[in-house]
Each structure stands twice: as structure tokens, then as C-alpha cells.
Amino acid sequence: MNDAERRLWAAFPTGAQVVLGDDLPLGPQPDRIVRGEIIAQLLLGAGSTVPGAVAAVRLKGAYVIGQIDLGGGNVEPELRLEFCRLVEEPDLSNTQSRQLRMSDCWMPGFDGGGLRADGYLSLSGSVVEGTVRLPRAQLSGGLRMNGTKITSPSPDEWALFSGGLVVEVGCFARNAEITGGMRLVGARMNGGLYMEGATLRNPGRLALDAQSMVVEDAAEFSQGFTAYGTVRLRNARFNGIVSFSKAVLDSTDPDRMALHASHMTADELLLWPSERIKGRVSLSYSRVQVLMDHPEIWPDRLYLNGLIYETLRGGELRDRMSWINRDPEFHLQPYEQLATWFHSVGHDDLARKVQLAKMRARRRKLNIIGRGWNQLLDWTVGYGYRPWLAFAWFGFLMAVGTLVFSIHQPGPVKPPEELPKFHALIYSLDLLIPIDTFGQQQSFDPDGWSRWIAYGLVSSGWVLATALIAGTARVLRPN
């Protein structure tokens, strides 16, 4: 043993801290070298203990050569490394331990697959030039990576890789810098996920893959959180708020998803980044109780088919119309959902406008005959959502008929004693109504050019009546 190792061995029984330096060693200085096997031996029970004291490895400013191999071991003492440089990746795979703290250290990777820690695992302030592996890890005291910098060894490898990770108390990665992508598929964060100010870099790929993740309390991707690449929250469940307030979402490729949050469940989604989202966003088939966003942040392509929400906050009607029209493909459900929400908050007039917009958007997908008929329904009765249009047309046509037949009175077709007194207004009304109501149409017959006006009024009356019936039926039975 060298002098540094002897000091560590002597301090172990009482858990005293051994300070070899107050900064991160840049090279293998002889007075700061500690072998990883010595640290492993102490943690696995080789060192003596003192009654009334808690044994621990607490080391500051060491240059650790060799591997700290605790794989499969049962570690009772606490491990605390500060400002240490680890030449080899520590192996804590399938280890049962208490509290593990490696803060402000440098290491070429970290293997914690299957790790079970009764306390917390802390890598705060550390620089990891390699992959941090935490598949199947269970951390009862939480995970701390505040200010941690992780860089994946290659574009095809994750910076942080996990699957089935369980974190109690909370996962804190505030102001972390992760280059190469962060994988949290199937993770369970029972104390929340806090990534305020964190920066994830994986351009053209997944910056964060959190499919099927479950988060209790809050998920904070906010206050300067920045993702260059796709944030995938597909099928994730947030029993609380998930916030992108004052964040930056940039897929770095307009054809890629910036936020893929389909089939997601959340109590509240605060989607209000500090700038417009660059890339596509999908909220398809998600269920959100409260959705708060703003028109200034909406991307050009926004997928909302199947999204169900109870409350919307932010934006007026015209904004929400632009919101649902950003889907490249037409779907009925987003319009129905928005109309249902307007109706639920007492804005029936706005709900009708949404339904009308739905029919107009649907018209663009029909064949030429269908488009023609739907255009007629729109002009005449607004698909049944604006029935006053039919009365407006009716009044206009009746005024035209009254003027024409006042100037050019039709001739009688009955004997004088059977003729009612001619009245241009009543005659025009009789032509427009599809059934003979006042007897004028059967008593007088126009000739010359006015006959074509009469034919037009009769045809228009049938069209208006048919459109009104069809539009009303469409409103009452929208399916």
C-alpha cells in the first residue's frame, strides 16, 4: 500500500474523510493515487470496524487506478467520492448497497445495472465520458444528477441507458448536460422528475426516450430545459403536472418529432416553451385533464387526433381553429372534442362555429359531386348550423319575385269569377313554398321572360327546403 491507501484504510472504521486534494487531479500524482481494488475490499468487508462508529469510504481528490468492482456484492458502508478521477468505469451491477455518492468526479462510464440502493445514488457535478447504465436499478433514496455532464462514447450509444428503472423520493437532473440521448423507457419515478435547466443533445435522434414511464407528483422539463432531438413520452403516465414552461424543444429536423407524446396520460400538461417548437408535435390519443399552451409556440404540424381534454387554457376561438387545422390529415375527432369543450363551458355559439369549420374542412376531401352539394349546403343553411341563411335567401328571392311580377303581371288561367285578386308578394311566396298554399300559383301563369323567373323561384324553393332539411338532419345526427 502507498501512503494514500494506508490513510484510507485507517480512516475507514470511523468513516472519517481522507482529503488528498481539493480539486480534480489531472494526472497520476503519486501522493493522490488509490487503487480501485482497495476501495472495493473495504466496501466488501475487508476492513475492521469500531463499535459506536459508522464505517465508510469517504475520499476526496484521489486518482483512482484500476476498477472499483462491486458487481454482485453486498455493500454495507457508505461510499463517498468527491473530486476523484476514476481511470476505469466503476462496476456496481447487481450490487446491494446503501448510499452512493460520486460527486464532482470524472469517470469513463458507470455500470449500475440491477443496482439496489437503500439510500440515494448521486453523480451530481460529475463528468462521465461514456455511458451511465442503470437498467433494472432500484434507488430507494433517489437519483441525483444535478450539473452532471454525460457524453456517449459514439452516436449509436446512449449517454444514459436504463430500462425498468425505479426511483423513489425523486430524480433530480437540474442543469445536467447529456450528449447522446437519455433512455428512461419503463422507468417509474415515484417522487417526481426534475430536469429544470437540463440540456439534452442528440440531433436527428432521440434526445429523451421515456416511453411508458410513470411519474408521480411532477415532471419538470422547464425553466431552461433544452432538447436538441426528439422528446418521446409515448404511453407515459404523469399523475400530476408535466411542464415544458420556458423550455426549448428543437428536433433539429423539421420532418422529425420535437415532442412525441401520443397515448400519454397527464393531470395537467403545460406546453409553453420559451420559443416556438421546432419540429412536429404529436398528442394523438392522449388524455389530459388540463392543457395549457399558447399560439406562439405551436409548430406547423400538430397531431391532435384522439386527444381528449377536460379544460383548455390559452388562446381564443380563432387560435384554436388554427390549432386543430395544423394536422396534415383531416380527422373529425379534434373538431368534435373542441366543440364539446366549448359546449361544456357554455359557449354554444362557438361550438357551432367549430362544427361548421369541421364540415368545411371535410368538404375538401370529397369528390366533385360531394363538394358541390356540400358547397350548396354551406351557402344556403351553413350545414344547418346557420339556418338564418335560408331565411335570408328566402327574403331576397321573394323581393326579386315581388319586383318582377309587379312590373310584369302574369296572365289569368281561370274564369274571372274564380280568380282571386293578384298580389305580387303573395304570388312570389306561393312559388317559393314547395306546396300550393295561397292559390295564386294555380290561378296565374307568367309569360315571356318572367316565366323563367317563376321557374327559378320554384326551383330555389325546393333547393332551400331540401338544404334546410338536410342541414337540420346533419346537425341532429352528425355521424
- Please report which helix (H) or strand (E) contains residue 283, including its range: none
What pLDDT, on a 0 to 100 scale, did the predictor assign at position 406? 78
- pLDDT band with cut points at 50, 70 and 90 for residue 442: low
The amino acid at 50: V
Element (H, E) at 229: strand 226-232
Mean pLDDT across the chain: 88
pLDDT value of residue 476: 44
261 against 360, higher pLDDT? 261
Asked if the model's pLDDT at residue 185 lies above 50, the reply is yes
How far is residue 252's CA from residue 216's CA, in Å, rounded to a whole number? Answer: 30
pTM of the entire predicted model: 0.81
Instruction: State residue 395's pLDDT score.
Output: 73
- 192-196, 226-230, 317-321: least confidently modelled range: 317-321
CA-to-CA distance for 171 and 470, rounded, in angstroms? 58
* 97-137 pLDDT tens trace: 999 999 999 999 999 999 999 999 999 999 999 999 999 99
Helices (H), 51-156: none
CA-based torsion, 376, 382, 387, 393: positive or negative: negative
> In the chain, how many H helices and how many E strands?
9, 37
C-alpha span between 88 and 109 (Å, rounded): 8
Q: Are 229 and 204 in contact (CB under 8 A)?
A: yes
Through-space distance between the first and last CA atoms of the chain, rounded to whole angstroms:
82
Cα distances (Å, whole numbers) of residue 204 to 148, 207, 221, 283, 299: 23, 9, 20, 20, 17
Q: How many whole angstroms separate alpha carbon 278 and alpha carbon 275?
A: 9
What backbone phi and psi angles, to 5 degrees, belong to 240? 160, -155
The CA-CA-CA angle for residues 76, 77, 81, to 5°, reads: 135
Query: For the chain, how long is the longest CA-to-CA vector?
Result: 135
Which of 99-113, 293-307, 426-440 has the lowest average pLDDT?
Answer: 426-440
Residue 444 binned pLDDT confidence (cut-offs 50, 70, 90)? confident
Q: Assess whether pLDDT exceeds 90 at residue 59.
A: yes
Taking residues 390-408, report their average pLDDT.
Answer: 72
Q: Quick check: 478 pLDDT over 50?
A: no
Q: How confident is the model at residue 219 (pLDDT cuts 50, 70, 90)?
A: very high
- The answer to whether residue 436 scores a pLDDT higher than 70 is no
Contact 302, 275 (CB under 8 A): no
Q: What is the pLDDT of residues 238-279, one digit of tens each?
A: 999 999 999 999 999 999 999 999 999 999 999 999 999 999
Residue with the bigger pLDDT between 20 and 349: it is 20
CA distance 278 to 257: 9
| 211 and 183 Cβ atoms separated by less than 8 Å | no
Average pLDDT over residues 58-75: 97
Using the predicted structure, report yes or no on whether residue 4 has a pLDDT greater than 80. Answer: yes
pLDDT at 396 over 80: no
Residue 366 has pLDDT above 80, yes or no: no
* pLDDT for residue 372 is more than 80: no
Question: Band of the pLDDT at 477, cuts 50, 70, 90?
Answer: very low
CB-based burial label for 314 (10 Å; 0-12, 13-18, 19+):
middle
Cell for 14? 470511523
Most confident by average pLDDT, 91-95, 323-327, 467-471: 91-95
